[in-house]
Amino acid sequence: MRSALAKAGLVAVTAAGAIALVVAVVPRWLTGMEIFEVHGIRLAGARFLTVEDALGSLALPPGASVWDDPDPWLEPLLRHPLVVDVEVERNLPDSLVLHVTETQPIALVPMPTLDPVDAGGRRLPIDPSVHRLDLPLLRADAATSETADSGRVRLLARELDRLGEADPSFVAELSELAWGGGGDVVARWGDAGLAIYFRPPLRAARLRRAMAVLGDATHRFPDRPPRAVDLRFQEQVVIRF
């Protein structure tokens, strides 16, 4: 019985080894066949990245096969500011599908035209006139326009991203984050553009308490809508009418 089991195990191991060898060798053998040359590339999951931009960044050599290792010619595409990751799907016999994970714009910065930026404050090559972007504004300086790689824009973008993770519903009502004097930040919130003053980082617990106090003040004084919430004083929430 043991001998039979040993033989069965040997056969299974041999078969598995043969399959692994075929999987490793066959694509290399197929690479040279003309029928498998790449003649079509399609993007999936991309909203902002165009096929033209993707192909322009793709280091696809002439005569490339769908069986080739895609990593070398994906490297330039992965450096594109709109691309976070790419997975390749073979659509036999001669086309590829690039499943793209895109960088998401988080805000618009007036420079002086509205330029989208990501969570790190980096400018993204997205045309707001083509894509409708319902995003808050980041104002690095109330008096002058600054480039998207400025330290203030990066700080505001990171703060906005952090607030979005802590309280998405709060950020959904934000229309603007602006740099104030002395390191303060002014947020414009809600339809009325309520001003919220704080010094970053604004913690989630502090924000929840501020919203609770604001709700109470609105309930107590329905005829006097608050104009500002000041969170710059430690452990205090100051409502201004």
- Do 60 and 140 reside in the same domain of the chain? no
d(CA 237, CA 214): 9
What is the mean predicted confidence (pLDDT) over 116-144? 88
- Residue 185 DSSP SS3: strand
d(CA 193, CA 187): 9
d(CA 107, CA 1): 71
CATH of the domain at 69: 3.10.20.310
- Identify whether the C-beta of residue 54 lies closer than 8 Å to the C-beta of residue 88: no
Whole-number pLDDT of residue 196: 98
- Do 43 and 80 reside in the same domain of the chain? yes
Whole-number pLDDT of residue 17: 44
Q: Is the pLDDT of residue 155 over 50?
A: yes
Band of pLDDT at residue 134, cut at 50, 70 and 90: very high
Band of pLDDT at residue 19, cut at 50, 70 and 90: very low
Share the mean pLDDT of the chain.
86
Whole-number pLDDT of residue 178: 95
What is the mean predicted confidence (pLDDT) over 23-51? 80
- Do 180 and 164 reside in the same domain of the chain? yes
- Do 114 and 45 reside in the same domain of the chain? no
Whole-number pLDDT of residue 232: 95
Strands 185-189 and 174-179: antiparallel
Q: By residue range, what is the domain housing residue 189?
A: 107-240
Domain ends where: 80, 103, 126? 103
- Do 119 and 234 reside in the same domain of the chain? yes
- Residue 1 DSSP SS3: coil
Whole-number pLDDT of residue 6: 43
Count of domains for the chain: 3
> 121-136: b or e for each residue (b if 16 or more CB lie within 10 Å)?
bebbebeeeeeeeebb
- Do 19 and 44 reside in the same domain of the chain? no
Q: Is the pLDDT of residue 167 over 60?
A: yes
What is the mean predicted confidence (pLDDT) over 120-136? 93
Q: Is the pLDDT of residue 7 over 50?
A: no
Domain ends where: 103, 131, 155? 103
Cα distances from 55 to residues 17, 26, 80, 195, in angstroms, run 38, 28, 11, 45
- What percentage of residues in the chain have a pLDDT greater than 90? 75
Q: What is the CA radius of gyration of the chain?
A: 27
- Do 69 and 136 reside in the same domain of the chain? no
- Do 24 and 60 reside in the same domain of the chain? no
Domain ends where: 66, 87, 103? 103
Q: Is the pLDDT of residue 160 over 60?
A: yes
**For 52, phi and psi rounded to 5 degrees?**
-60, -45
- Do 176 and 236 reside in the same domain of the chain? yes
Q: What share of the chain is helix, strand, coil (3-state, %, to 5)?
A: 35, 25, 40
- Do 41 and 86 reside in the same domain of the chain? yes
- Do 162 and 228 reside in the same domain of the chain? yes
Q: Which of 9-23, 107-121, 165-179 has the lowest mean pLDDT?
A: 9-23
- Identify whether the C-beta of residue 117 lies closer than 8 Å to the C-beta of residue 109: yes
Whole-number pLDDT of residue 23: 42
Q: Give the full edge-to-edge strand order of the sheet including 83-91.
A: 40-44, 95-102, 83-91
Q: Is the pLDDT of residue 197 over 70?
A: yes
What residue type is 219 in one-letter code?
H
Band of pLDDT at residue 113, cut at 50, 70 and 90: confident
pLDDT tens profile 57-104 = 999 999 999 999 999 999 999 999 999 999 999 999 999 999 999 999
Query: Which are the contacts of 74, defined by CB distance < 8 A and separation ≥ 6?
Result: 58, 59, 86, 88
- Do 131 and 172 reside in the same domain of the chain? yes
Query: Which are the contacts of 212, defined by CB distance < 8 A and separation ≥ 6?
Result: none
Helical spans, DSSP H, in 43-193: 51-57, 71-78, 151-166, 168-172
- Residue 132 DSSP SS3: coil
Whole-number pLDDT of residue 11: 40
d(CA 148, CA 117): 7
